[in-house]
Amino acid sequence: MTTTPINLLSEEQLAEISSGKHWSFHGGIHPQENKQQSSKAIIKDAGIPPFLVIAVEQKGESPLLLVNIGDSVLKGQALTKATDVMVVQNASSSGTVTAIEKRTDLHPSGLPVLSVVIATDGLDRSVEYSRCADYKAQTNTQLIEKIQNAGIIGLGGAGFPTHLKLAHYAAIKLLIINAVECEPYITADDRLMQEHGDEIIDGITVLQHILKPQLIVIAIEDNKPDAIAAIKRALQKKQSSQSANIIIRTIATHYPSGSEKQLIEIITGQQTPIGKHPSELGIVMHNVGTVFAIKEAIIDGKPLTSRIVTLTGEAFRKKGNVSVRIGTPIQYLLDKYEFTPTASQKLIIGGPMMGFSITHGDVPVTKTCNCIVAPTLQEMPESPPEMPCIRCGECAEVCPAQLLPQQLLWYANSKDNSKLDEYNLSSCIECGACAFVCPSHIPLVQYYRIAKAEISSAKQQAEKAEIARIRFEHRAARLQQAKLDRQVKHKQAAEKRKQQLQETNGGEDLIAAAIARAKAKKQATADPSDAPADNKKDAVAAAIARAKAKKQAAAEHSDAPADNKKDAVAAAIARAKAKKQAAAEHSDAPADNKKDAVAAAIARAKAKKQQALESTQINTEINPENSAAIAARKARKEQARLHKRQDLPAQIIDTTIAEPQTIDTTIKASDDKKTKIAAAIAKAKAKKIAQKDQ
Amino acid sequence: MLINIAIAIFTLGILGAIFGAILGYSSLRFKVKSDPIVEELDAILPQTQCGQCGYPGCKPYAQAIANGEDINKCPPGGDAVMRQLAERMGIEPKNLEGEEKPKLIAFIREDQCIGCTKCIQACPVDAIIGATRQMHTVITDECTGCALCVDPCPTDCIDMVPVVLTTQNWQWDLNLIPTKNSTER
């Protein structure tokens, strides 16, 4: 919403409006009104339900809660804190907060939203309302804040926060009070005007004080003569200099004349440009119910805790308008007003044209719930099955926004969002006139609602994608920068190190010196013809020569000592050998004993191992590859077969004991042989036993 | 005769110099820095930066498409994005490579988070906040659902959960099974 006025109403236009001229809008329909069902009875209080469910979430945002579970609350007490756009939610009766949780909201989706559940105590004690006789002494900001704290939103149906609408009070030339109530069945505003005309005029005076418009028009459809009369009476009573510019405009009954843009067209003859807000034309519109709530909030100091709901439709035994506390479960109203469901019973919230149906009564009445219609099938027959569009164009003739519904249907079905935009789907007010006249019974509005939701979610996604792209790019840039920074840092650190090294070594580069040295060395070894290498070689050669000469000399000079030496060595070796021999001979017996003992131990161990191996092979029959084992097994088997009834275990033990001894003797033979032999022995034994038995 | 030829050469020479100067100036003045089609393609892509196309982000994939890469490699964008790409590139739509899945967002089971920061490093859009040995959490509004944080997690404490349905993102659905019994009449 922008505040820059682009096309403010001129003085001439205002004069024309006040002179009584009025216009009309394109299309529109005349559905059956069915208002008589509920418009006769006076407004009754619906009473205090056992519990209240007050939804605190607004447009998906949870405000700051001011109460906790277990707190006792009074009627009119603020449950939430107001923010810029959010209004305060007030308790609508006294009691105890029993839960703060997600509860099903009065929304076509039937999704739960954060709600405060209050168990009422039936006393309906309220906070002290501070009456304000002289509101004119207060500034606009104070008054608007009061309205926000009273929790007032547009009570006509859309629920736009009133304080936001009032915030742009600068360039308002025309204030329209919407008392049209063009939807069939609904009579809440009608009854309100009949019974509370004076309060409504007071509310209008408050708005007049805030907005200071040049002209105020109260627009009422001509099907509410009693309401028109009541408002007229109230206005005459208030006749003063201020109310001089308040006029009542009776307009023809014509659906959807209560829609904001259509009513502006009726009253002023001006069309609000697409995407513009009426405030840019210097026009603001408030529902008559909202005006009543503003009066209560400003003059009586009462926050919005209840609203008037029309209970109508043939399925209600007791029809009429009731003042319902916000948060009252619909089921409570259904029970109290004797709702008798019939076959295929529908429950419609709002009017039959723009409302939505709910499937159960376990949802609370909200501030925007102006009507509950419970029609019987006779009253509101099922819509016949949908047929293809025959492009008759009747929808285009009735469309109050002058759109082409048949084209929109076509593009909505093909999900062509750009074309839908081209055909201004966003200007559709979802009034349902097109679906009402459609000879093919196409629920056009439903298709548009879906398409609108899809477009808005596509828009949201595009916005999110854009944010994601920016975040991704920023991250990539950051990482790149970090990498560069790191490189620079490393380079700087390396340079610093180099410099430090140079400084500590008196300006000499140690590494460079070392490299130079290493190079020089390499050079030196690589080139043998170098002078120092030659020197060395020569020296070596000389040394060898000297050594040879010396040796020679020694050999010649002292032959005997050298021989002696040799002999001595030989003798020493011989001695050592002899000693060894002697030692071996001397300690022959013990050493032999020891050796034998070791050998015996090894043999035993081997035997044991072998025995264990064989016995396992025999007993468990797990090694079929081993022929010995197979043989032994066979033997054993045979033996077992023969001695089934005799003392078999003893014999088996016998063989197992015997085996190691036999093996002991053959243990030094090769392993293969050993196993074969063992097998043979086993076989032989088995045979022997068998023979013995026979 | 000679003077005529000289005049003609001179005139054409002047003209050539003038036009050359204009062209030279305009080539500098109206220089196109990058291929505009890449920007357009990038705008179509869903910006999840998930890398499922095999490129490290949406922009590199847009660049690749401009260079002739297949247009059907973006599962998060689904059929709709593929068709838009096909239209923009003037080529035939293809069947999507990979499955089109409903949008998910990452959720960190915070009691199991050990604060290793690996997911933070993996997140292409900086949608995870936390610090070393401090619990991490996902900024739900910024999460693109790319699931790149799931694999690096050493404790497997990141789940991809569906977006919570609220009254704000709820869509009318006419294709719901009607609960009304038509024989009741």
Q: Give the span between the Cα atoms of B53 and B69, in whole angstroms.
A: 10
Would you say residue A689 lies in a domain?
yes
Would you say residue A241 lies in a domain?
yes
Looking at residue B61, its pLDDT comes to 92
Query: A294 and A175 in one domain?
Result: yes
Residues 6 or more apart whose CB falls under 8 angstroms from that of A258 comprise: A156, A178, A180, A181, A182, A183, A221
Residue A694: band (very low, low, confident or very high) from pLDDT cuts 50, 70, 90: low
Going by the DSSP 8-state scheme, the letter that residue A82 receives in this structure is: -
The answer, yes or no, to whether residue A643 has pLDDT greater than 90, is no
CB atoms closer than 10 angstroms to residue A527? 10
**A207 and A152 in contact (C-beta within 8 Å)?**
no
Would you say residue A517 lies in a domain?
no
Domain span holding position A467: 391-499
Which token pair is A351?
């009017």
Q: Give the span between the Cα atoms of A570 and A94, in whole angstroms.
A: 126
Whether residues A472 and B169 touch (CB distance < 8 A) is answered with no
Contacts of B49 in chain A (CB under 8 A): 468, 472
A529 touches chain B (CB under 8 A): no
Looking at residue A71, its pLDDT comes to 92
**Domain total of chain A:** 3
The answer, yes or no, to whether residue B130 has pLDDT greater than 60, is yes
List, as one string, the DSSP characters of A432-499. -HHHHH-TT---HHHHHHHHHHHHHHHHHHHHHHHHHHHHHHHHHHHHHHHHHHHHHHHHHHHHHHHH
The answer, yes or no, to whether residue B145 has pLDDT greater than 80, is yes
Residue A556: band (very low, low, confident or very high) from pLDDT cuts 50, 70, 90: low
Q: Give the span between the Cα atoms of A30 and A255, in whole angstroms.
A: 6
Looking up residue A259, the CATH number of its domain turns out to be 3.40.50.11540
The answer, yes or no, to whether residue A538 has pLDDT greater than 50, is yes
Q: What is the pLDDT of residues A275-294, one digit of tens each?
A: 888 888 889 999 999 999 99
Whether residues A450 and B57 touch (CB distance < 8 A) is answered with no
Would you say residue A221 lies in a domain?
yes
Would you say residue A115 lies in a domain?
no
A476 touches chain B (CB under 8 A): yes
The answer, yes or no, to whether residue A33 has pLDDT greater than 70, is yes
Query: A278 and A400 in one domain?
Result: no
Looking at residue A16, its pLDDT comes to 82
- Angle ∠(B92,B97,B100) on CA atoms, nearest 5: 105
Q: Which helix (H) or strand (E) holds A565?
A: helix A559-586
Task: Out of A95-104, A321-330, A594-603, pick the least confident.
Answer: A594-603
- Which pairing describes strands A95-104 and A371-373: parallel, antiparallel, or unpaired? unpaired
* Domain-wise residue ranges, chain B: 36-89, 104-162
Whether residues B167 and A344 touch (CB distance < 8 A) is answered with no
Would you say residue A144 lies in a domain?
yes
Indicate yes or no: pTM above 0.80: no
Q: Phi and psi dihedrals of A287, rounded to 5?
A: -75, 150
Q: Give the span between the Cα atoms of A412 and A389, in whole angstroms.
A: 13
CATH superfamily of B36-89: Electron transport complex subunit B, putative Fe-S cluster (1.10.15.40)
**Dihedral Cα B176, B177, B183, B185, nearest 10 deg:** -20
* Higher pLDDT among residues A387 and A649, named by residue: A387
Looking at residue A388, its pLDDT comes to 93
Task: Out of A405-409, A422-426, B98-102, B118-122, pick the least confident.
Answer: B98-102
The answer, yes or no, to whether residue A104 has pLDDT greater than 50, is yes
Q: Give the span between the Cα atoms of A30 and A198, in whole angstroms.
A: 31
- Looking at CATH, the fold of the domain delimited by B104-162 is given as Alpha-Beta Plaits (3.30.70)
Q: Which of A476, A499, A522 is the last residue of a domain?
A: A499
Chain-wide mean pLDDT for chain A? 82
Sign of CA dihedral B143, B145, B149, B153: positive
Looking at residue A379, its pLDDT comes to 86
Looking at residue A656, its pLDDT comes to 44
* Higher pLDDT among residues A671 and A689, named by residue: A689
Q: Give the span between the Cα atoms of A337 and A612, in whole angstroms.
A: 98
Q: Phi and psi dihedrals of A588, rounded to 5?
A: -65, -50
The share of chain A scoring above pLDDT 90, in percent, equals 40
In which residue are the tokens 């909202």 written?
A290
A516 touches chain B (CB under 8 A): no
Residue A531: band (very low, low, confident or very high) from pLDDT cuts 50, 70, 90: low
Q: Give the span between the Cα atoms of A371 and A34, in whole angstroms.
A: 13
* Higher pLDDT among residues A511 and A261, named by residue: A261
Q: Which of A301, A325, A341 is the last residue of a domain?
A: A301
Residues 6 or more apart whose CB falls under 8 angstroms from that of A299 comprise: A131, A132, A133, A135, A202, A206
Looking at residue A657, its pLDDT comes to 44
Task: Out of A35-44, A482-491, A559-568, A649-658, pick the least confident.
Answer: A649-658
Q: Which of A301, A330, A349 is the last residue of a domain?
A: A301
**B96 and B82 in contact (C-beta within 8 Å)?**
yes
Looking at residue A327, its pLDDT comes to 94
Q: What is the pLDDT of residues A452-477, one digit of tens each?
A: 988 888 888 889 899 999 999 999 99
Looking at residue A457, its pLDDT comes to 85
Q: Which of A102, A472, A479, A480 best probes binding to B when mutated, by most B CB atoms within 10 angstroms?
A: A472
Residue A648: band (very low, low, confident or very high) from pLDDT cuts 50, 70, 90: very low
Looking at residue A336, its pLDDT comes to 92
Looking at residue A360, its pLDDT comes to 86
Residue A570: band (very low, low, confident or very high) from pLDDT cuts 50, 70, 90: confident
Whether residues B172 and A446 touch (CB distance < 8 A) is answered with yes
Q: What is the pLDDT of residues A306-355, one digit of tens each?
A: 999 999 999 999 999 999 999 999 999 999 999 988 888 889 998 889 88
* Higher pLDDT among residues A508 and A108, named by residue: A108
* 3 state DSSP class of A112: strand
Mean pLDDT value across residues A393-402: 93
Query: A277 and A137 in one domain?
Result: yes
A441 touches chain B (CB under 8 A): no
Bond preceding residue B76 cis, omega within 30 of 0: no
- Which pairing describes strands A320-325 and A306-312: parallel, antiparallel, or unpaired? antiparallel
**A147 and A131 in contact (C-beta within 8 Å)?**
no
Mean pLDDT value across residues A95-99: 94
Distance in Å, alpha carbon of B29 to nearest chain A alpha carbon: 27
Contacts of A461 in chain B (CB under 8 A): 46
Whether residues B185 and A474 touch (CB distance < 8 A) is answered with no
Looking at residue A655, its pLDDT comes to 43
- Nearest C-alpha neighbor of A296 from the set A132, A181, A128, A163: A132
The answer, yes or no, to whether residue A586 has pLDDT greater than 60, is no
Whether residues A457 and B171 touch (CB distance < 8 A) is answered with yes
Residues 6 or more apart whose CB falls under 8 angstroms from that of A406 comprise: A389, A391, A393, A395, A396
Would you say residue A555 lies in a domain?
no
A108 touches chain B (CB under 8 A): yes
Q: For residue B173, give the chain A residue with the closest CA.
A: A450
A359 touches chain B (CB under 8 A): yes
Size of interface A-B (CB pairs under 8 A): 81
* 3 state DSSP class of A6: coil
The answer, yes or no, to whether residue B19 has pLDDT greater than 80, is yes
Mean pLDDT value across residues A220-240: 89
**A9 and A269 in contact (C-beta within 8 Å)?**
no
Would you say residue A11 lies in a domain?
yes
Looking at residue A37, its pLDDT comes to 86
Query: Each residue of A631-660: b (16+ CB within 10 Å) or e?
Result: bbbebbeebeebbeeeeeeebbeebeeebb
Interface list for chain B against chain A, based on CB atoms closer than 8 Å: 42, 45-49, 57-59, 124-127, 141-142, 144, 165-174, 179-182, 184-185
